[in-house]
Structure 1
């Protein structure tokens, strides 16, 4: 079995020369998940795998929503540097969309009912019609994805038992989420210029509350749907282990709680959290892992 990743080698070498940690660097890699698809790819453990596979269900629709939400404001921005960041953000998210569409097709090939799991995602996002509300939702969700990404890079052992193609994709995705984690917030601040701070704060936390509830509802709804293909009925033992892994040891979700709580502080700003070292380490790992990859070359998984 082979794992393929295509990309711009110039970007990797630029990182090796010491690119600014906050540069938004679109990396056009193809991880070929569909050709390397594997059931229970994380340590042959269905609980650990569903916790990550279930995230991919949200991503193609979500990332298209984010791009539309931020690009709506591009023509109206006085800050042209921010407009350029939105363009870089949009390219990164477009590559993420493509890779997670293939990821979800790989799940479908393995027999999972991806269509049913994806069904509520589009309508949930489609309910948000007003451009400012769309930016508020994007800002909230981007903080959640930045939180998951921080934990992925801070605790790389989470993916120690992962199949190589999957590990590469999720580290790549986590790295780029941190690189562009402040763009949606900056657009929100520009879009609400002149708005009283208390009003912006209330709108921001209301959007976060709504998105957390929607995410948890869809995520937990999808777990039994996913498990049907594996002929697993999620009873007490399954849900106890699910709770143990997410909230106790290693506590994947518990580790995220302080960062999520930070969003509720009135003075929240994603730039106040210094992830420069994580970004550098992520870039170094990616450069080493993908060394020698090109559009015409494959590496053994």
Structure 2
């Protein structure tokens, strides 16, 4: 069981629409599309996650876990709002967000079985937590990002880490009569049904994104894409070991350094978020 006190919903607006910028990470289209491409998945995905967990919330005897689901849902609702604005910023820059998002929306819509939805949520939460751990452990990867974008992704990474165990805890609590091996297969089938479609859809969207910038996705582009993802900085290569840990029968999402990473994330946000707008002084006599 996690700790509901660790799950802190933060109602923060990042103003991406007002600060819309193409190639905002080191003026590099490949580094930027690797992150912008994730935002395409997130509004539909986060609504799916909330539905998946809230289906089980009233059925659980564990009140602390029910409280975690509530905190999780509020965090994800704020993420949905900010990534909808993020995606509108991409549309403002001319990117065909609807074309990129449509098959993702259709993919989520065909999953009707509550247990299947929950197992897919567990898998995607592990993938997002893996990326979030990388972001918080190596903040230098985002050091040269445009400030509004960097703040949003550091915030998102922190909150993903805070709630990363909730979905798996719900899976365990929702299947008390299921053997551990059967639950393991449910969990693994959820990852198998998620990882490959995610990669296919993500790679399908890259040329759509690049076309808006007049960039041809020929052999040279894809060789550099491979270099950035798998060699240096090697974003995907660095994520691979933890992604594959999910297939271990005794997998536990909690890592020994979670609390330290969350502390670092909270400290970073406290130091880097701009102050809230000043509240006008009340008029005399009001």
Q: In which range does the TM-score fall when normalised by the shorter chain?
A: over 0.9
CA shift for structure 1 position 232: 0.9
What does 1:284-295 correspond to in 2, within 5 Å? 284-290=267-273, 292-294=275-277
Counterpart of 1:73 in structure 2 is 56
* Separation of aligned partners in 2, 1:209 and 1:247: 21
Counterpart of 2:284 in structure 1 is none
CA shift for structure 1 position 274: 3.4
* Separation of aligned partners in 1, 2:35 and 2:120: 22
Unpaired runs of 5+ in structure 1? 1-19
Counterpart of 1:121 in structure 2 is 104
Cα contact 2:16–2:86 (8 A) shared by 1:
yes
* Separation of aligned partners in 2, 1:96 and 1:90: 10
Counterpart of 2:131 in structure 1 is 148
Counterpart of 1:246 in structure 2 is 229
What does 1:69-148 correspond to in 2, within 5 Å? 69-148=52-131
Cα contact 1:22–1:276 (8 A) shared by 2:
no
* Bigger RCO (CA 8 Å, 6+ sep): 1
Matched residue of 1:97: which SS? helix
Cα contact 2:4–2:71 (8 A) shared by 1:
no
Cα contact 2:23–2:29 (8 A) shared by 1:
yes
TM-score by length of 2: 0.94
Q: State whether structure 2 residue 216 is matched by structure 1 residue 229.
A: no
Q: State whether structure 2 residue 181 is matched by structure 1 residue 181.
A: no
2:183 to 159, 176, 200: 200
Cα contact 1:21–1:276 (8 A) shared by 2:
no
Counterpart of 1:8 in structure 2 is none
CA shift for structure 1 position 170: 0.2
Matched residue of 1:271: which SS? coil
- The structure-2 alpha-carbon separation of the partners of 1:94 and 1:130, relative to structure 1 and needing over 3 Å to count, comes to same
Q: State whether structure 2 residue 252 is matched by structure 1 residue 266.
A: no
CA shift for structure 1 position 267: 0.3
* Separation of aligned partners in 2, 1:131 and 1:34: 35
**Greater Cα offset, 219-228 or 270-279:** 270-279
- The structure-2 alpha-carbon separation of the partners of 1:23 and 1:234, relative to structure 1 and needing over 3 Å to count, comes to same
Cα contact 1:21–1:279 (8 A) shared by 2:
no
- The structure-2 alpha-carbon separation of the partners of 1:296 and 1:102, relative to structure 1 and needing over 3 Å to count, comes to farther
Aligned positions, number: 278
CA shift for structure 1 position 206: 1.1
Cα contact 2:95–2:209 (8 A) shared by 1:
yes
Q: State whether structure 2 residue 148 is matched by structure 1 residue 165.
A: yes
* Separation of aligned partners in 1, 2:190 and 2:168: 13
- The structure-2 alpha-carbon separation of the partners of 1:161 and 1:272, relative to structure 1 and needing over 3 Å to count, comes to closer
CA shift for structure 1 position 54: 0.3
TM-score by length of 1: 0.90
* Separation of aligned partners in 1, 2:215 and 2:5: 43
